Structures are given as structure tokens and as C-alpha cells.
């Protein structure tokens, strides 16, 4: 929808309207940016028309994300008045720099991922300029990424849950991934800062902390720590014992150590859940991807984890149609998924990203074939997911209530990360933000239905398409 330009008074009200796009890591950066703005006296505006500054924290990881970011920027540009500033922030800005102005001529400023904490200084410079040429704040130095500045928490509250970013950047050599180009190398936050934020979240009544980074299992390596993630989990549990759940996302294959497995198995607060993107199931494809290619490690480590944690829920993601992927390689992926029986799976079709190593390879798999392979893999996984869910029927499960309406409540179990996994649909109204024990009454490929003790059961039918990360 096109917004009509709204005249702005000369006396600015110091309000900002911030649109956050992309992943949870971007959401944390957006909320941290909002804290910086708030400390400088700016207030959040619900609508663009009420704001003096319009900020889009963009995502530029893959082509569809880039297109969405441009669409939002252009829509805001169409409705922008002369008195308003339009700033593009985040991943797409860092990656494409001065190209952003050509795509969105109305841009006043561009700030990337490396120094988003300088947003207030950029805004001051924009107000003081004599011309309408945009200002670019895109330093290449990544040493400040992930460090703590301005006293802002690196968290994003989502109801009873909170994302907590423990590091940023990545030093892995994946051929298809642009993250190192966007974020720079891996930089961990100080352990004491993360622990202090966990303690603060506990004081605020948060029930679940979700640890995020480009690679959580690499946490602390740049600080000279070994098994840094395990040490961090130990420290968090001691500092915030009333947090019910601590969830680990984005583990890297080959870096799930025995110490981490022991820590997850022994600390009741740490969920028996692990998100470990394997990306493929054939060693030849993985080698071209420059990913860990030992499927023996996958079998051995997951077997070890399931032995220590029989109720372990594993989420993984895969890419189909990577350059050179043969029918035999794709069948190898199918066989691995069938063998390992992951609880949750996301599947993406490969798209070449400028600047990455794989972009130089011939994109040999036709788009139609990529989509067919994605659908075949998702169909295989749906049967596995349904069978896994059916095993819970008749059992009790603790869920975190996230919403209610139309006579039902919506919650998540330990098996479900926000936005990417399943839901538990419960008959009756339950308090949002609370942990509740429910009885599982039905199973679907992605979701479960349940009743709360003492509540009248109601038949609920939910149909959803495949979940993706």
C-alpha cells in the first residue's frame, strides 16, 4: 500500500519508527538500537507518519530477503516528507553500501552491522548537513561487533521468552554463505555481560532464554576459552536459577563437544533441544559447500546425545540444489534424514549469493528440479514429524503459553523454538507468559493439540504449511 506524504512541523518531536526484518539476531540488534535511541531522548512511534526518523533494519542474506528490504524502504520513501529522515541499517546496508542509494534514491543515511550503535551520531550528522547527499557509516573493522557499548542489553523480549545474543560474526568457510562478508569474523561478548543480562531477564519474569549467535558453539574461542558455550551455560544457570528454560540455537557440526553434551544433560534448565544445521547429507556435496563432511560424526554425536538425553529434540536445516548436486547426492540426503529422524527440519533451495565462493560455480540444478527436491524432502520429513508428534499423544507436557483467543490458547513445548517450529494448541484460556502442564490429545505434522487439567476439551483443527527457518 502506498503511503501519502505527511507534512512535518519544523519543531521535531524526536520520535523514531523502526522496522526490523530478517532473523532473530537482527531483531536483537533492532531492539538494542532502540535502547540507544531511547537513551538519547527519542521515543518509538507506532506509525511512520508520527516519526521524525524512519529506520529499516534490513536483511540481505538471500535474494528474497533483499527484495523484501527494498520493498519496505521504497514504501516508506514514497510516504516520507522533507522533514523526515530515512535510514537503511543492517545486513543489506553493510553488504551493498552505496548501491543502496541507487535502489532507493530517497535514502538519507546508510548504517551497517558493524557500528549500528552509532545511530544517534549519524542522525545528528544528517540534521547538520548542508545538502541532501546521503551519509554512509559502513566501517569494515569488525572488532567492535558483539562488544558492549552504551550500556544496552543485547536482548529482545518476546512475551515470556527472550533472545539473548552471545556473539556476532562468523569465521566458518561455508561456500554459500555471505554472513562473514556482512558481519565479519566471530566476536564473542564477555561472559560476565551475558550472565548479568540473564540475571536481569530473571528479575523481569522471563521464563525462557534463547541463546543466539551465528555459531553458538564457537562462543569464547576468540577469548581464549575452550568449551566456552558449556562454561557459559554453567554460569547462567548459577546466576539465574529461576529461568525455566535455556535454549541453544545454531550449533555447528563437529563442534558439539562431550563437555557440551554433559552440560546439557546435567543442567535441568538447559532444554534437551539442539538446532544444528547440517545443510546436506552427502559428503561430496558437503565438501563443495566447505562444510564438515563426516557423516560418521553426525551419527556418532547424535547417538551419544540421544543416549544421554532420550527425549532430545533435534532441529536441522538443509539446502537442496547446490551446484553439482546429483540425483545420487540428493538420495544420500534423503537417506540421512530418514535414518536420523530429526524432530524438525527446514529445507531451502540454493540461490547463488554475490561474493560467495559458490557463486563462482555453475548453478547446474534447474530451478524446477530444486523445488521438486525440496518438496520430496519435506514430504519425507512430514511423515517423520507426524510420527514423532503422535508419540506424545496421551502424555503430559509442559508448555509456555504465548497467546489465546477463540476459546483456545497457544503454547510452545521444549521441542519448539519460536517462529520456526511447532505449536501446542490448548482448549481453553490460559494465562499468557505462564508455564502450564497440559495433556496431549492429538498430533499433526507440525503441531499438537492438548487440554489443560480440568478444562473442557474442544476439537480444534489447525492446518499449516511446512515450517521454514
Q: Please give the average per-residue pLDDT across 342-348, as a whole number.
A: 96
Whole-structure pTM over 0.85, yes or no? Answer: yes
- Domain count for the chain, please give it: 3
Note down the domain range covering 44. Answer: 15-137
- Asked if residue 253 is part of any domain, the answer here is yes
Q: Are residues 266 and 331 in the same domain?
A: yes
**466 has pLDDT over 90:** no
- Asked if residue 466 is part of any domain, the answer here is no
- Asked if residue 8 is part of any domain, the answer here is no
72-76, 144-148, 258-262, 280-284: segment of lowest average pLDDT: 144-148
pLDDT at 89: 96
150-159, 375-384, 385-394: segment of lowest average pLDDT: 150-159
Q: Please give the average per-residue pLDDT across 21-41, as a whole number.
A: 94
Q: Are residues 170 and 192 in the same domain?
A: yes
Q: Are residues 331 and 201 in the same domain?
A: yes
The CATH number given to whatever domain includes residue 402 is 2.40.50.140
Reported as a single tens digit per residue, the pLDDT across 121-168 is: 999 999 998 777 889 998 877 666 656 778 889 999 998 999 999 999
Q: Are residues 347 and 251 in the same domain?
A: yes
pLDDT at 175: 96
Q: Are residues 412 and 349 in the same domain?
A: no
Q: Are residues 210 and 342 in the same domain?
A: yes
Q: Please give the average per-residue pLDDT across 422-451, as a whole number.
A: 95
pLDDT at 129: 85
Q: What is the 3-state secondary structure (H, E, C) of the chain?
A: CCCCCCCCCCCCCCEEEEEECCCHHHHHHHHHHHHHHHHCCCEECCCHHHCCEEEEEECCCCHHHHHHHHHHHHHHHHHCCCCCEEEEEEHHHHHHCCHHHHHCCCCCEEECCCCHHHHHHHHHHHHHCCCCCCEEECCCCCCCCCCCCCCCCCEEEECCEEEEECEECCCCCCCCCCHHHHHCCCEECCHHHHHHHHHHHHHCCCCEEEEECCCHHHCCHHHCCCCHHHHHHHHHHHHCCCCCEEEECCCCCCCCCHHHHHHHHHCCCEEEEEECCCECCCHHHHHHHCCCCCHHHHHHHHHHHHHHCCCCEEEEEEEECCCCCCHHHHHHHHHHHHHHCCCEEEEEECCCCCCCHHHHCCCCCCHHHHHHHHHHHHHHHHHHHHHHHHCCCCCEEEEEEEEEECCEEEEECCCCCCCCCCCEEEECCCCCCCEEEEEEEEECCCCEEEECCCCCCCCCCCCCCCCCC
Q: Are residues 284 and 214 in the same domain?
A: yes
Amino acid at each position: 500500500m502506498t503511503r501519502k506524504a505527511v507534512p512535518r512541523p519544523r519543531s521535531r518531536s524526536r520520535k523514531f519508527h523502526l522496522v526490523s526484518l530478517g532473523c532473530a539476531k537482527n531483531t536483537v540488534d533492532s531492539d538494542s538500537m532502540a535502547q540507544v535511541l531511547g537513551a538519547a531522548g527519542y521515543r518509538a512511534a507506532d506509525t511512520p507518519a508520527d516519526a521524525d526518523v524512519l529506520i529499516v533494519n534490513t536483511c540481505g542474506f538471500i535474494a528474497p530477503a533483499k527484495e523484501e528490504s527494498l520493498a519496505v524502504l521504497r514504501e516508506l520513501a514514497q510516504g516520507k516528507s522533507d522533514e523526515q529522515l530515512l535510514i537503511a541499517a543492517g545486513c543489506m546496508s553493510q553488504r551493498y553500501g552505496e548501491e543502496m542509494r541507487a535502489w532507493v534514491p530517497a535514502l538519507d543515511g546508510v548504517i551497517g552491522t558493524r557500528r549500528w550503535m552509532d545511530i544517534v551520531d549519524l542522525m545528528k550528522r544528517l540534521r547538520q548537513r548542508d545538502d541532501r547527499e546521503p551519509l554512509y557509516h559502513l566501517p569494515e573493522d569488525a572488532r567492535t561487533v558483539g562488544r558492549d557499548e552504551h550500556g544496552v542489553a543485547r536482548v529482545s523480549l518476546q512475551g515470556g521468552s527472550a533472545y539473548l545474543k552471545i556473539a556476532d560474526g562468523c569465521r566458518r568457510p561455508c561456500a554459500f554463505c555471505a554472513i562473514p562478508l556482512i558481519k565479519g569474523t566471530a566476536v564473542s561478548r564477555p561472559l560476565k555481560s551475558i550472565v548479568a543480562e540473564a540475571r536481569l531477564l530473571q528479575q523481569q519474569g522471563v521464563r525462557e532464554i534463547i541463546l543466539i549467535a551465528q555459531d553458538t558453539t564457537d562462543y569464547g574461542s576468540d577469548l581464549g576459552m575452550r568449551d566456552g558455550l558449556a562454561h557459559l551455560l554453567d554460569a547462567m544457570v548459577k546466576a539465574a536459577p529461576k529461568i525455566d528454560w535455556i535454549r541453544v540455537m545454531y550449533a555447528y557440526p563437529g563442534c558439539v563437544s562431550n563437555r557440551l553434551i554433559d552440560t546439557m544433560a546435567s543442567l535441568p534448565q538447559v532444554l534437551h533441544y539442539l538446532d544444528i544445521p547440517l545443510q546436506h547429507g552427502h559428503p561430496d556435496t558437503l565438501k563443495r559447500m566447505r562444510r564438515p563432511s563426516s557423516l560418521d560424526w553426525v551419527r556418532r554425536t547424535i547417538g551419544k546425545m540421544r543416549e544421554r538425553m532420550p527425549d532430545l529434540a533435534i532441529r536441522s536445516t538443509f539446502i537442496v540444489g547446490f551446484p553439482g548436486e546429483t540425483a545420487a547426492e540428493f538420495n544420500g540426503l534423503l537417506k540421512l534424514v530418514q535414518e536420523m529422524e530429526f524432530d524438525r527440519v527446514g529445507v531451502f533451495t540454493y540461490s547463488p549469493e554475490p561474493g560467495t565462493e559458490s557463486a563462482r560455480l555453475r548453478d547446474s540444478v534447474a530451478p524446477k528440479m530444486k523445488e521438486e527436491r525440496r518438496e520430496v524432502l519435506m514430504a519425507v520429513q512430514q511423515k517423520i514429524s507426524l510420527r514423532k508428534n503422535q508419540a506424545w499423544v496421551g502424555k503430559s507436557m509442559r508448555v509456555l503459553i504465548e497467546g489465546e483467543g477463540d476459546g483456545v490458547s497457544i503454547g510452545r513445548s521444549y521441542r519448539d523454538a519460536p517462529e520456526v517450529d511447532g505449536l501446542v494448541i490448548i482448549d481453553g484460556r490460559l494465562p499468557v507468559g505462564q508455564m502450564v502442564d497440559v495433556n496431549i490429545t492429538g498430533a499433526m505434522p507440525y503441531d499438537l493439540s492438548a487440554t489443560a487439567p480440568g478444562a473442557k476439551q474442544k476439537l480444534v483443527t489447525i492446518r499449516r504449511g511446512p515450517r521454514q527457518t
